[in-house]
Structure 1
Amino acid sequence: MKNPVRQLRMQAHLTQSELAQRGSTSQPTIAAYEADMKSPTVATLIKIAKGAGLETIISYTPKFTREDSRSLAYHEAIGSKLQADSDAMINKARANLKTLRNLHPDARALLDLWEAWLSLPLESLLSCMLSVDLLGRDMRQVTPFSGALSARERLNVIKNFRREFAR
């Protein structure tokens, strides 16, 4: 399972210090949660999420596969780049969508949904593309963000993923 505090922080686009302040806790506590050195209670997760302006909803889905986790890790890195330069990244994704439509006409419904997502405000786009639900998993398999990460960035994602996945 993906670390819930890190996932919450990434979705809220906050630093550990910012999340700690909003969640009425300390940065070292957030760091300990993210390093799996401490385990927050559900009540603590709800409090931290509320402080970050997020709702806590507990749901159960099929177990993440290694591929699901790796794809999410790539998209978290893409999300960071989107925050830095959303216009260029979204324009590239839209251009990639045209190519994908020609190559995969049978994926039209998913590509149409990506097109709609790319028109959302940045925070909503990030929330959709980083969602851990089944739709989020499926959408990451037909991502228009291919080529968004440099070779070095992809290698960093792979190294971090292998280290985290080995836990």
Structure 2
Amino acid sequence: MFFVFTYDYGDMVTEAQLLTTGQAAQVLGCSRQHVVDLCDAGRLPCSVIGSHRRIARGDLQSFLDEGQVLRREEERSLWLHRALLGPLLRDPERVLARARSNIERWSGTHRADGMTQSWLREWEGLLDQGVDAVADILASRTPRAVELRANSPFAGVLDEQERLAVHQSFRRHWAAKHRAA
């Protein structure tokens, strides 16, 4: 099944604004076939030109902004942060104290008016809200959670062996999920 979308907002979509499925796959960090499957399922709007699917840059950005799909590094971060849920629930005082300690240490090394400081302040607010608020962000696929995890204060909570085990598991998962056809 192919979907052809026309744009009725008066602006013409130029060829420069259209991406091939291969280019979209590079942006998403997945296989070209996965992009084709997303298009065929109607989850990612596309146009069909001849026998080729083309994705408007704006549609791809909207798809990313909705948090429907994560880039490889974002999904790996999600897996690592989900692994933090066990220690967080078993020993919340230790995990939250470690995060607070990291925030305090890092705050002294970044510009007061920089983006890193704003993320650290947001994490402080979440830590103040307690375990439930932190757990929600650790497991969420929302764009806000993705950004927060990219600036995570939880370094050192998982030991090296746990971290490596999560990385290995993630690599197997990613390879199976995104195997090129």
Q: Indicate whether the TM-score tops 0.5.
A: yes
2:139 maps to 1:133: no
CA distance in 2, matches of 1:62, 1:109: 25
Report what 1:31 is aligned to.
none
TM-score by length of 1: 0.61
Count of residue pairs brought into register by the alignment: 109
Secondary structure (helix, strand or coil) at the match of 1:103 reads coil
2:75 maps to 1:66: no
Aligned CA RMSD, in angstroms, stands at 1.5
CA distance in 1, matches of 2:159, 2:67: 32
- Calculate percent identity across the aligned residue pairs: 28
Residue number among 146, 156, 163 corresponding to 2:155 in the alignment: 146
The structure carrying a bigger strand percent of its residues is 2
Write the mapping of 1:1-167 to structure 2, written as runs, cut at 5 A: 60-61=66-67, 63-105=69-111, 106=114, 107-167=116-176
Q: Against the structure 1 CA distance between its residues 62 and 90, is the aligned structure 2 distance closer, same or farther, given a 3 Å change threshold?
A: same
The 10-residue stretch of structure 1 (151-160 or 125-134) with the greater mean CA deviation from structure 2: 125-134
Larger radius of gyration: 2
- The offset of 1:159, in angstroms, is 1.1
- The offset of 1:124, in angstroms, is 2.1
- The offset of 1:141, in angstroms, is 1.1
Q: 2:149 is aligned with what amino acid?
A: R
CA distance in 1, matches of 2:99, 2:130: 15
Q: 2:157 is aligned with what amino acid?
A: A
Q: In structure 2, list runs of 5 or more residues that go unmatched.
A: 1-64, 177-181
1:51-97 per-residue CA deviation (whole Å, 9 max, x = no partner) reads xxxxxxxx933631110010001101111110110001101110000
The structure carrying a bigger helix percent of its residues is 1
